[in-house]
Amino acid sequence: MAGHLAQSLSFSCSVQQWDSDEPIPQSELLAGVAGKDGVLCLLSDRIDKEVLDAAGPTLKVISTLSVGYDHLAISEIKERGIRVGYTPDILTDATAELTVALLLATSRRLPESVEEVKNGGWTTWKPLWMCGYGLSGSTVGIIGLGRIGQAVARRLKPFGVNKFLYTGRHPRPEGAAEFKAEFVPLAKLAEESDFVIVTCSLTPDTQGMCSREFFCKMKKTSVFINTSRGTVVNQDDLYEALVKGHIAAAGLDVTTPEPLPVDHPLLSLKNCVILPHIGSATYATRNAMSALAANNLLAGLKGESMPSELKL
């Protein structure tokens, strides 16, 4: 479902739909948006100045089927007085669940272990074979203690985590209280965490934030998890950290680019688990996101308040 283009009439609207799971070609998008009142897009559709110019002055509302909006040229959109709908909250539980699954799969080496069963590497029970790292008694550092970061902490707490650290633009005492999480600078979070989990949004401040300097500060036994956006991480630096043993392992649900080319060096590493951006991928969540995105679009077209409007 991509590139749904709506033209409002008095009480109904006509819909022009790119009816494929494959990305809409840029030429089709540019031609399709011309003169439309609303656009429903996916996080893989880049709505930049070129697309906004092609849409022209009729465009009143953009509704994205995502909580992230780094694919939208927000300052251009704001300047043109276009409203934006998005899908926060309803995907928080599914994304937190996937983050925990990825953390456990990475720290307890599940993909590698499954592979050993299939390829005959499982010869007998060996005391240190396939050992990893556990959450019990650990320190967990969360970069971005927003809705998803808090939902991750809530799920990890019962595993016996000893201490939560977090960092971000500013302290969030209300969100942090439930976990007695301590607000710390990024460097301290890197130095003290056994597990680092990235759940912040992608902004100019967070782009490339997890770089060589950051990974070198992490413990050699620590595990790095990213379920936010790929470009928060410098992937070349992450590769080096994994190969040189600066960190133990990484689990990524997001990469740069997406999809990651199958010959990408990160895919050759046993201590790197990569998923295809499936944080919110439960049937119930994706259905709820679709309904919310459609309702945001319709409300925007009618000039009414949207169920979830992004404050620009």
Q: Binding residues for ligand GLV, per CB under 6 A? A: 43, 66-68, 91, 279-280
Q: Distances from the Cα of 69 to the Cαs of 65, 185, 202, 261, in angstroms?
A: 9, 26, 9, 24
For the chain, the distance separating the N- and C-terminal CA atoms, rounded to the nearest angstrom, is 26
Tokens at residue 61, please?
């509302």
Find, among 108, 184, 110, 101, the residue nearest to 141 by Cα.
Answer: 184
Smallest distance from ligand GLV to CB 280, Å: 5
Helices (H) then strands (E): counts for the chain: 11, 12
Residue 246 is a catalytic residue? no
Smallest distance from ligand GLV to CB 66, Å: 3
Q: Distances from the Cα of 146 to the Cαs of 151, 189, 242, 289, in angstroms?
A: 8, 16, 28, 19
Q: Which residue is nearest to ligand GLV (CB)?
A: 68
Q: Which is nearer to ligand GLV, 264 or 286 (CB)?
A: 286
Q: Which is nearer to ligand GLV, 89 or 178 (CB)?
A: 89
Give the phi and the psi of residue 12 in degrees, each rounded to 5. Answer: -145, 175
**Alpha-helix runs per DSSP H in 74-172:** 74-79, 92-107, 110-119, 147-156
Smallest distance from ligand GLV to CB 242, Å: 23
Smallest distance from ligand GLV to CB 226, Å: 11
Q: Which is nearer to ligand GLV, 37 or 253 (CB)?
A: 253
How many Å apart are CA 7 and CA 112, to the nearest integer? Answer: 50
Q: Which is nearer to ligand GLV, 147 or 217 (CB)?
A: 147
Q: Which residues are catalytic?
A: 277
